[in-house]
Amino acid sequence: MINSVMTNRRKRHGIDTITVRGFPGDPRRALVNVGGRVFSAATGRSGRALLKREGDGATPIARMSLLYGFYRADRLPRPRSRLAMKPIPSSLGWCDDCGHASYNRPVTLPFAGGHERMLREDGLYDICLVMDWNIRRRSRNMGSAIFFHLKAEPERPTEGCIAVSLRDMMWMLERVHRGTAVIVMP
């Protein structure tokens, strides 16, 4: 009886854990395991790091929860997901200015501090999931805008995020939920 209750709970709530492990021979790539399915991913241009710093290009070795996501409504229909998915307005930015009170927060453009524009032309943020890296408990200079987003074609490293193909992202979105843990391994 207990096993059937657990199975039903998992089906109703989706996948609880995503693991991100290094790709053999390339520190800027990873293998992402989502519910037993393994995807190829791009990670930070500096590989993975235990001590993450703003602008270092590293993907943090950490446990981060998925919080919510954004999508480009002008390019894609609303993705099916248990995560809250918000369309990206043209005025959406993300503050990466360590000295600003809005550091590592969404901001409205135009914005005087350092920021990243979320409505990108390169398609990387056509689907962009926000992970709890330095968000709930913010520390200056510990890294901002660490997202789970789409990877470039041809594949290239990220600035510290985790990036997968559109096909893999769509599969994953139907199975994850708010609170799914993304565990980046050393």
How sure is the predictor about 3, in pLDDT bands with cuts at 50, 70 and 90? very low
Nearest to 146 by CA among 184, 172, 180, 176: 184
Pair of tokens at residue 161: 């995020």
Measured in degrees and rounded to the nearest 5, phi and psi for residue 65 equal -90, 145
DSSP structure class, residue 49: E
Task: Give the angle 93-119-61 at the CA atoms, nearest 5°.
Answer: 65
- Give the model confidence (pLDDT) of 112-156 as tens digits: 999 999 999 999 999 999 999 999 999 999 999 999 999 999 999
Residue 71 predicted with pLDDT over 90: yes
Per-position b or e across 43-82, b if 16+ CB within 10 A of its CB:
bbbbbbbeebebebbbbbbbebbbbebbbbeeeeeebebb
- pTM of the shown model: 0.92
Q: What share of the chain is helix, strand, coil (3-state, %, to 5)?
A: 10, 35, 55
Pairing relationship of beta strands 127-131 and 63-71 according to DSSP bridges: antiparallel
Q: Which two tokens stand for residue 87?
A: 């369309």
3-state SS, residue 20:
strand
For the chain, domains (ranges, CATH) are: 2-184 (2.40.440.10)
